Structure formats: C-alpha cells, structure tokens
Amino acid sequence: MGRPDKSVLIEVGIGPLSPKLRAIIKSLSEETTELRDKVVAALCESIPVYSEIGDQATLQDVCETVNFGIRLWYQTLLSGRSPSVEELEPFTACGRNRVHQSIPLSSLLQAFRLSSRHYWDSLLQRTSDDPEVGREVLLKVSPYVLHYFDILGQQVSQAYAAELHQKVQWRDNLRAGLCDVIYNRPEDVEAFREHAQALGIDAAAAHIAVALKLDERTMSRAGRESDISPVLDALSRLLEIDREMPLRTWRNGHLLVWLPLTVGEHAADACRRLVQQLRGINACCNEVAMVGIGLPHAQPSGWRTSAVQALRAIEVGARLSQGESVFRYLDFALEDAVAAQDITAHYFDELLARLAAEPLLIETLNVYFKHRQQRKVAAGVLNIHPNTLTYRLARIESLLSARLDDTGWIAILHTALRLRHLAQSAKHYSR
C-alpha cells in the first residue's frame, strides 16, 4: 500500500461567493486562535484517547493539525475550489502520525467530524445577523460541507491504513528477525540487542516465555494469524500489557510470547504471578486450551531455553496434572532433568520396581503423597484403617531401606512416582 491516490479527489468547487460572505470568511481566516483552542478543548473533552494524551509533542501536533484544518477550510471557501493533493499533504501526514501516536482510526475520524461541526457553527454564528448572507451559506456552502470533509476523511483514512500496514509489516519483520537470532544464532548477541531495541524491548532484562496451545476445534480456515486476535485481547486484559506485545511467534503449533519481569521481581514470584493472572484465560478466551510458563532467562540463548521450558511445561503438565490448564515448568523441572539422563532415570525406575511385587504399596504411596502425607485423609481415600496405612508405609520403608519422615526420601519417591506416571502416559499417547 502506497500513498493515497489522487483519484480519490473529485474536483467539485463551491464557486464564487458574494462580496459580503467573502469579507466575513476573510475576517474569520485572520482570527483562528479562538476557534483552534475551542476545537482542541472539544477533542480532549469528547474523545477519550485525546483526553489521555500525555506527550507534549503529540498534543502540539494535534493543535497544529487543527489550526491547519481551519485555515484550509477558509482558504477553500475563498478560492472556490476543492483542495489539491499537495494542499492536503499535512492531513496525509496527520494520518501517518496518528498510527505511531497510538490513536485509533475511529477516534481520528471522530476528531474530524467534531472539528467540522465547530467550523460550521462558527460560520453560522458570524452570518446569523444578515438574512441574505445566511441564506447564501445555507444554500451554497452547506451542500459543499459534506463533500469537503469527505475528501479529508478519505485522504486521512488511506494514509492511516497505508502507514498501519507498513508498521505491521515492519514489526513482523523485526519479530521474525529476533526469533531467528534466538533459535538459530543465539551467539549473535549484537543482532539480538539491535532487534530488541527496535521493538522497544529491554534486551538486558530477564524474560519469561509463555506458550499457549490453542484449541484446534476453534481454529478457523482463515489461518492461525486470524485466530490469535481474541487470544491477544485476552492476554492484554489479564496481564495488563499492550495488545501488540513486542515479541511473539509460532513454535511447534503453539503461540509463544516473551514477557519481562517487573522491576525487582524474583523469578519464583514472577512465575506465581503469571499462573494467577492466566488461570482465567480459558473462561474469557475459548481459543486457549493450555498454557505453559518457562523460567526467566536473559540473552538469546536464555530466551530460547525459556521457550523450550514453556512448551515442555504443557507437555508434562498435561500428563501429571489432570484438570489443570496452566502449568509452570518450575513444578516439573526436577522430573524433566531426571528423565533427560538415562542412568538417573533408570535408578528411579528400579527404586519403584522393588515395590512392584506388591502393587497396593505403589497405590498407597501415590495417595499418601497426593494428600500431602496426611495419614487420616490418605486412609480415608484408600478406604482402609489408619493402622493398615501405617503397616503399608512401614513395609515401603523396609523394602526400600527408606525413611518417610526424611525430606530427602520424600523428594526421591515423589519424583519416582511422577516419572512412572509420565512413562505410563507416554505409552498411552503412543498407542
């Protein structure tokens, strides 16, 4: 998409005006300050986005655009012809600027409509005392008003759309470049820093990768990009971040986003916060089936590691924590590390194999850990007498030469049970 086409302008002029009306318009064109201030105040009062402008440069740009619009309006009436593309260039620039000032097109067009109403009211008020001139305004000027502001609306809309398209392409290219560094050239720290800086990302800050598995039943034929719009909306609301989050990509069929830690936030606190914030995503966004959260890391290799962990959290969490939909890699890091080493994994497997001859012992141990070593609760779930539970636990200690009141043994046996569950679920999924 390029610059607005000149063909959008239809050469329809208002024609010559009477000397009286020309004199009034000439006088108005020399006294624009009051009308400019009135229009700017109306924009800030009536349009939320304009009332929230905190940047002085943006506010100054709005004032200059309003002032130019007033002058061009009077110039157009005095010349008797529609403005040319060259004369409308400041409005074209306005359309482009508003994209980067985060002002929606709907708000921009609302601003033009509100401005036109003030231009028109100002002219009506000045000519209301002279019936002859007032009649000329109503019969000759009023039919042209809609045409004039339609020209402005088309010019601004096309400029806005063209600039937005270029901005989206530019950001997409930067995101793709940054992801290429993360996955294919993690040693290129300088390229990582340059891409991150262009996207407004603090390259030195630790980031957490969040993986979102989308529900395939909600995926449309239009493709993945059209499906993520409600997902981005949900993330924006739940995490209170910009909808156009700096970095996102697709990986292994999942949507991946990287999020920075807040200032002074510890890693464990950040993971806990994200779990709490994202637990409600399924309720407000049907497209999301599961969420995985990695550990915070810095630098490109660290971002890649966090992404791998976020994806792994979904894979492992779906098998170990049925009924849940948001998983932290932190909760499965020990099991994942053990499973990755054949010798260590074999040791844990052999440990439970000693109990295999008495299957009730493994079930008992599983329930005992699931209910946080609360003996009465575990006995009730197993539907056995507490003394029977005590006997079984003593039998486990005897067979393994273990102590179930030792935190080290508790961690070992809990890990062994989870690894066993993972192995069984893997067999189930491979069928």
Task: Give the model confidence (pLDDT) of 268-315 as tens digits.
Answer: 888 889 999 998 888 888 888 899 999 999 999 999 999 999 999 998
Pairing relation of β-strands 326-328 and 288-293?
A: parallel
Confidence (pTM): 0.63
Per residue, the 3-state secondary structure of the chain, as one string, reads CCCCCHHHCCCCCCCCCCHHHHHHHHHHHCCCHHHHHHHHHHHHHHCHHHHCCCCHHHHHHHHHHHHHHHHHHHHHHHHCCCCCCCCCHHHHHHHHHHHHCCCCHHHHHHHHHHHHHHHHHHHHHHHCCCHHHHHHHHHHHHHHHHHHHHHHHHHHHHHHHHHHHHHHHHHHHHHHHHHHHHHHCCCCHHHHHHHHHHCCCCCCCCEEEEEEEECHHHCCCCCHHHHHHHHHHHHHHHHCCCCCCCCEEEECCEEEEEEECCCCCCHHHHHHHHHHHHCCHHHHCCCEEEEEECCCECHHHHHHHHHHHHHHHHHHHHHHCCCCCEEEHHHCHHHHHHHCCHHHHHHHHHHHHCCCCCHHHHHHHHHHHHCCCCHHHHHHHHCCCHHHHHHHHHHHHHHHCCCCCCHHHHHHHHHHHHHHHHHHHHHHHHC
What's the CATH architecture for 6-168? Orthogonal Bundle (1.10)
Query: pLDDT band at residue 322, thresholds of 50, 70 and 90?
Result: confident
Task: Give the model confidence (pLDDT) of 167-207 as tens digits.
Answer: 888 988 999 999 999 999 999 999 999 999 988 899 989 99
Provide the terminal-to-terminal Cα distance of the chain, rounded to the nearest Å.
51
Task: Give the model confidence (pLDDT) of 399-419 as tens digits.
Answer: 988 899 888 888 888 888 888
CA distances from 166 to 58, 61, 103, 195 (A): 21, 21, 16, 17
CA distances from 301 to 180, 186, 282, 296, 420 (A): 12, 5, 31, 12, 31
Q: Report the CATH number of the 203-331 domain.
A: 3.30.70.270
| Residue whose entry in the numeric block shows the structure tokens 């957490």 | 208
> Could you count the other beta carbons within 10 Å of the beta carbon of residue 231?
20
CATH of 337-430, one of 3.40.50.10130, 3.30.1370.100, 1.10.10.2840, 3.40.50.300: 1.10.10.2840
Task: Give the model confidence (pLDDT) of 210-243 as tens digits.
Answer: 999 987 766 554 445 556 788 888 888 888 888 7
> What pLDDT was estimated at residue 279?
87
Query: pLDDT band at residue 105, thresholds of 50, 70 and 90?
Result: very high
Q: In CATH terms, are 6-168 and 203-331 the same topology?
A: no
Ordered by start, the domain boundaries in the chain are 6-168, 203-331, 337-430
Tell me how far apart the alpha carbons of residues 228 and 208 are, in angstroms, rounded to a whole number. Answer: 20
> Could you count the other beta carbons within 10 Å of the beta carbon of residue 53?
18
